[in-house]
Structure 1
Amino acid sequence: MANNKLSAKKVGALNQTGNYGDGGGLWLQVSKWQSKSWVFRFSFDGKRREMGLGSCKDVNLADARLLADSFRKMVRNGIDPIEARQAERAAQRAERMNIIAFHFCAKKYIEAHRHGWKNVKHAQQWTNTLTQYAYPVIGETPVKNIDTTHILRILEPIWTTKTETASRLRSRLENVMDWATTRGYRTGDNPARWKGHLENLLPKPSKVKKVVHHAALPYPQMNSFILVLRQHDHVSALALEFLVLTAARTSEVIAATWDEINLDEMNWTIPANRMKAQREHRVPLSSRCIEILNKASNLRQSDFIFPGGRVNKGLSNAAMDKLLQVTMSYECTVHGFRSSFRDWAGERTHYPSDLCEMALAHTIKNKTEAAYRRGDMLEKRRQMMNDWQKFCETAITTGSDIVPIRKTG
């Protein structure tokens, strides 16, 4: 596409309402009130985006071209210029007010270190834990004012119940606070440090009694569970049933997008970067899964199949657990349904073990066997998943020896 289609003279002469391209994504907009402004249009992550560059009174053609060129370079480097500008303005505003919040420091720390982390998921894990546990307490708090009391308010509620997560979170808080100190945003000791400080206030992680996780739902109870689940018609219920019928992980379901679905072939292809084993995983979809997707399409707000409460965000990590354990009063975990599926396949079917493990996207530990395994046995797995759906939808008579795993009080 040719650039520099406009000239300063032409810009001054144009008075008819419309959009006039200069090339390279730079456009002149003339409104019905004869006001003129610059707009930069671009595509990022497969989406068309548009950002204003200012009025022609304030930004001449040459300056608009320079701005557009700088933003094109950002796009080529994988940076969203709109988000970059918002971040820059927020930083400038915070600097002017001499209020550098913890949220700002954490974001900058992650940006500075993400390219040095070997695992591409590391940055997302940082963001997720800070968003879930730290930001609600100190996200908007000036980093210079954060003290030990703030840190304990974050850590104490999960220190004995989610000890490993809490320990990692503490380390991340310490790193962010050190970064803030080095940048001159705060002074004094680090309130999140362990040695000589928090070790005096919290039990050593290795000494904390391990929490006994709730058992998986016994597979004979799947039909009664599904009947109760289908009485709930919100997005969390759709996502949970989809998870059960596909034997997928929570992270795989809540981040699922429509471009991963092939309705004609009834397949869901999860890209490698979203899989625990870092390998693409194809999931055969049963007829009920297709029904769920059709229902979800009526709720579509973004690219996420199961939208969350925030714009352009998928369902939260805790949404299905809340539905299962609080709303439905089941004393089991969402992740446990993978075990329910595996127990059913092992005890009630003759499907080979490696097929069951492949359905769960487990890696083959035997390197020799893995080397010879070329296909993913999709069609064989399809029959198994259809049988799993049929089992879940069929009432069975099991006698009185099965104790429900649902709360009674």
Structure 2
Amino acid sequence: MAFKLSARKVETLKEKGRYSDGAGLYLRIADGGRRSWVFRYLRPGGGGQTELGFGPAVGRGKDGLSLADAREKAEAARALLRRGVDPAADRKTAGTGVQTFGEFADDYLESIKAGFKGKNAVADWKRDLEVRCKALRPKLLPDITTNDVLAVLAPIWLAIPRTARETRSRIERVLSAARAKGLRSGENPALWRGNLKELLPKAPKSKRHHKAAPYKEVPGIVAALRTKHSGADTAVNRAAEFIILTAVRTGEARFMRAREIDFEQKLWTIPAARMKTEDHPEGRPHEVPLSARAVAILRAVMPEGLDPDAYVFAGQWCDEHTKPLGHNAVLHALKSVYPAMTTHGCRSSFRDWCGDETNFPREIAEMALAHKVGDEVEQAYRRGTALKKRRELLDAWSRYIEGQSNVVALRA
């Protein structure tokens, strides 16, 4: 930075006025020759322009801060501003133990970042605490109110709801930590229930749409998977085909254990513990009827005498079946033959086929996907016939994949 003053000039200036050294630092000479250093700056958070006095300045025969000392103080003030801290507020709280939100938030992030797992977690926190919370940073911790937090969240609540929710959560954590350290008291102004929940509009839920192949492409996808595992006997390709045939979720197949299979009844029963999903909040077991091809896949991947607790689809390099397939293994197998496909998208392909190419009732297709249909009374009444109809549906799906039929009519 190019400075405008020199030590000699500072000592010899006499006329009343304000003389800039650059970057906010000024030598001010008032009536009677009183000389002082002032630092002019814009308050963080849009608080307008203000100035901070550094004390008397040196002059001929007068003690005071030299130009070098004043520049050092000015640089310290600029460093605070870069962190979003008001130098005047910082001076006010010096020696009192009171901190600004910006100061405490930076220290708090430094103290907890070692526990973060995501590679972008620190950057995300810094973005929220430094950019989203810019208006909060210069405020003293005890002075922050619900209205202050609302001023940060309201402009982004509906525009970028996920980021807004994360920002709110991080503000709450910072203020909770400040209270735990005795730096503020009372209720947390960033609290959700009974506080901000009543003041912010309800943000619409955004639904994630998983990439799915058109169902007309599915027979070709399965054929490609079979070609791959005929050349290299890998469980992952068979698992991918099995998931397509049964229209189950990937996790349900990955963690399938040998004891869950009834080969005589051609039935797979997924335990209630693995069915605690949005559609099965009470965790009911789910019965999956198995087509002939699905049974053939299971017999191919399950060695004779397999332990009942062993995983059916074993992870790589795990001949004892003591570890399941990796989380992304099936996804990679599918993408290697059809890049636009996802594991959950297999279920969408199945559902589209049910609606476009069959006469099976909608509720049968939904029940095949383990979606909750109707109330408990209706579900109990349908239990006897739903399994039979779902078996017919999945057998028809298997035949379609084999290329044996395109349109399926429900038997009267």
- TM-score between the two structures when normalised by the length of structure 2: 0.46
Task: Return the index of the structure with the highest Cα Rg.
Answer: 2
